[in-house]
Structure 1
Amino acid sequence: MVEAEKEQIYIIPLRDTKRAPKWKRAKVAVKDIRVYLQKHMKSDDVKLDRSINEKVWECGSQKPPAKIRVRAIRFSDGQVQAELAGE
């Protein structure tokens, strides 16, 4: 049985997506969320919930949010599952 090892809420800044072309910013933001969680949760296996993707793409590909609040859980097998915090 896989048990939760660590649970954490992160506020991930996404302002740095302005380095990407306007039409790619939401795509870059989703990648940035995954990289941020890999670094802070110390795991390469990160699964993002559909709610995170929908929140980032809410205003289209050109205008992702400036920051996003995410609840991440690392399990004993090393997998990290992330979902939008507050839902």
Structure 2
Amino acid sequence: MVEVLKEQIYNVPLRNTKRAPRWKRCNVAVKDIRAYLVRHMKSENIKLDSSINEKVWERGSQKPPAQIRIRAMKFEDGQVQAELAEE
């Protein structure tokens, strides 16, 4: 069994997606979430749960949320699994 090394809840800002064309903003938001986790969890192997994707795409491709709360867990093998943090 793989042991959890680090578990953290992050409030990822997504307001910077306005730099992208309107029709690409949710695509950019998902890439920004992945980049944020690479930077903060110090790992390239990131697995995003489908609940994150559903939350980002909830209002369509043009209106991602301004921020999103994510629970990220880093395991011994370097893999990071991220899911939507319950309120």
Question: What range is the shorter-chain TM-score in?
Answer: over 0.9
Matching of residue 47 in structure 1 with residue 47 in structure 2: yes
Q: Percent identity?
A: 75
Alignment of 1:1-87 (within 5 A): 1-86=1-86
Structure 2: 5+ residue stretches without partners:
none
- Give the Cα–Cα distance (whole angstroms) in 1 for the partners of residues 72 and 19 of structure 2: 26
Give the CA RMSD over aligned residues: 0.8
- Give the Cα–Cα distance (whole angstroms) in 2 for the partners of residues 57 and 86 of structure 1: 17
Aligned length: 87
Q: Deviations over 1:59-87 (max 9, x none)?
A: 00000000000000000000000000007
In the TM superposition, structure 1's runs of 4+ consecutive aligned residues that sit over 3 Å from their partners are none
